[in-house]
Amino acid sequence: MSEATWRDPRRLLWPAALLVPTLPFQGLALAAGGHEWGWWLTPVVVFGLIPVVDLLVGDDRVNPPEEAAAALQRSRYYRVLTYLYLPLQYAALAACCAVWARGGLSPFAAAGLVLSVGIVNGIAINTAHELGHKRERLERWLSKIALAPTGYGHFYVEHNRGHHVRVATPEDPASARLGESFWAFLPRTVLGSLRSAWRLESARFRLRGRTPWTWRNDVLNAWVMTVALCAALAAWFGPVVLPLLAAQAVVGFALLEVVNYLEHYGLARPRNATGRYDKVDPRHSWNSDRIVTNVFLFQLQRHSDHHANPLRRYQVLRSFDSSPQLPAGYATMIVAALLPPLWRRVMDRRVLAHYDQDLGAANVHPPALARLLARYPLALPPAR
């Protein structure tokens, strides 16, 4: 069977992923019409409307047949959609800088504008994620361009060569531990990922007997893109836009990290008889088959297959029965993650259920161990 005989039922839905970077323009139109709340359109749609529609539409667990996968992967239609996100992303950034430089925004409108452009650039990191895993040189450079507005270019190195190697282990700064709140996870993952990216890239050059202080260093050339972008926008619109650029970058990379937080929360890969961690499989990532969010995020929610097969393109990622399932799509779970009591109430019991109530099998946050044992007395303490 090929793509010619199996038609992707979502083929006409994938362009909806390009709606998000157009939302700031729609907010601008509303604000120009005297509706100041228009600057809040992007966060309201992403974290209000999409979760509701997700709930109403429900799940879709259909997998493309393997006989059609090769043809689907070759199809330029799917990769062009990821490319198109970038010009829309940059156009939205420039438009928001122009509004900011013009001045006259109330604190309410300014906050909405910061969140709007930060969300667009934060979701762009997901596009960078899709592009950065591919072998094609063009797509790898486009990945860095998508990362530039958030100043998170080191993600290109750390995610591919760090996170994918250490995922679901205590050594991975991007794998959240059971009982760890997002607010505790955020500084640990931001600093840990930054240090790891630099160590990985420095080691690559040391093995060749070269200095890492070169434009070929993928951490440095990605950061240079950010500096060049900010300098260009400041020259165009004036230095007044620099606070906007800094604030939206924080929103953007925090959005990435809250997604990291929920993707592997509490999950652990056991060590085998040789002392090495077991190979990554579908049990080590939280999945969601909510169709709406999957369309908007280029199927990032089929995260288990992505970790098992990083080179598979989004259109052929599969859902597995063995993967632990989130109770809702990412848009909904992001909101829950920002509220630790709600998150613990929803997710901690799911982690323990995934491990048949064996706390020792999970990736536990050490300071939370006593609280977890008090709340779940049937769970066993981690083996020493």
pLDDT digits (tens, 9 = 90+) for 217-234: 999 999 999 999 999 999
**CB-based contact 152:174 (threshold 8 Å):** no
> How is the chain split into domains, by residue range?
14-375
**Mean pLDDT, range 161-179, rounded to an integer:** 95
Q: Does the pLDDT value for residue 384 go beyond 90?
A: no
Residue with tokens 């990821």: 82
Alpha-carbon distance of 31 to 89, in angstroms, equals 20
Alpha-carbon distance of 196 to 163, in angstroms, equals 9
Beta-bridge partner residues of 325: 287
Beta-bridge partner residues of 277: 271
Q: Does the pLDDT value for residue 244 go beyond 90?
A: yes
Which of 156-165, 331-340, 358-367, 374-383 is predicted with the least confidence, judged by mean pLDDT? 374-383
Q: Does the pLDDT value for residue 9 go beyond 50?
A: yes
**Structure-block tokens of residue 142:** 């486009």
* Burial label, 242 (beta-carbon count in 10 A; 0-12, 13-18, 19+): middle
**pLDDT, tens digit, 9 for 90 and up, residues 88-120:** 999 999 999 999 999 999 999 999 999 999 999
What is this structure's pTM? 0.94
SS3 content of the chain, % helix, strand, coil (to 5): 65, 0, 30
**Structure-block tokens of residue 1:** 């069977």
**pLDDT, tens digit, 9 for 90 and up, residues 359-380:** 989 999 999 999 998 888 765 5
Alpha-carbon distance of 64 to 47, in angstroms, equals 29
**pLDDT, tens digit, 9 for 90 and up, residues 44-64:** 999 999 999 999 999 988 899
